[in-house]
Amino acid sequence: MERSLGKETATLRYIPNDSHHPFQHKMASFNFLIHRLLKFPLSKERFEHEKQLIKNIAKSNGYSVHLIDKLIRKHTFKRTLCNSTTFRRDTDNSKFASLPYEPKFTRGLDKFFKNININLVYNSKNKLQTLLGNPKDTINNNEKSGIYEISCKYCDQKNVTNSRQLDAFESLEIIKCNNSMNKDNGPIPTSPLFALINKYSYGSVNRGNIFGINSANV
């Protein structure tokens, strides 16, 4: 029979029961599957087939099938209550706080914080990604490919350049802005680098502008 809750090649592996994760994280996948089960307009035969599939997923991950029955009753009651009344609860003003999950220390904190309208959300640092880190080399933001718009530090002059020319703008601090000059400052200094950027950049660069590398916008 064709499945509606996943592909035939699915491994049916979710967060196992013996993993070091908060209970809410473990139940998130089953709540999602049961929500879809009740929301889809399935025939009775198809409904029982999908229900049994969810129970098999629970078994393969170390959970009891009675837990699935309990979740189905809970979701069914909520849907029945929602469909039988137009009353809507007031917006909850409670706040959320995130804490690292440690069973010995965080167990029992939920009830305490709920009394002061704070819902705890746990995060688990005990993951392979956290332990091994990111295997990819980090690329500096200024070295990422793209088109950048750089603004002058002292006037409204802007320049558009690509990532290859972006590093060259770091040396433009020696070029003073026309708007910031006065008669006592003398002539505006020239720079061979300025001429190079003026030649190869996409936009126009007026002699005498200071383009800071930190003002670049992608």
Helix axes 23-39, 44-60, angle to 10 degrees: 170
Q: Comparing 59-68, 77-86, 155-164, which segment has the lowest mean pLDDT?
A: 155-164
pLDDT at residue 82, rounded to an integer: 80
Rounded CA gap, 49 and 31, in Å?
A: 17
Rounded CA gap, 218 and 148, in Å?
A: 5
Rounded CA gap, 177 and 197, in Å?
A: 16
Per-residue pLDDT for 106 more than 60? yes
Helix, strand counts (H, E) of the chain: 8, 5
160 burial (CB, 10 Å; 0-12 / 13-18 / 19+) is: middle
Rounded CA gap, 29 and 31, in Å?
A: 5
Non-local CB neighbours of 178 within 8 Å, separated by 6+ positions: 155, 188, 206, 208, 209
Rounded CA gap, 218 and 215, in Å?
A: 10
**Residue at 218: amino acid letter:** V
Instruction: Render pLDDT for 171-203 as a digit per residue (tens, 0 to 9).
Output: 444 344 444 444 444 444 444 444 445 554 444
Structure tokens at 12: 């049916």
Q: Comparing 61-65, 73-77, 136-140, 194-198, which segment has the lowest mean pLDDT?
A: 194-198
- Residue 161 per-residue DSSP state: E
Q: Would you say the pTM of this structure is higher than 0.75?
A: no
If phi over 0 gives left and psi between -120 and 50 gives alpha, with beta otherwise, what is residue 146?
A: left
- Residue 90 per-residue DSSP state: P
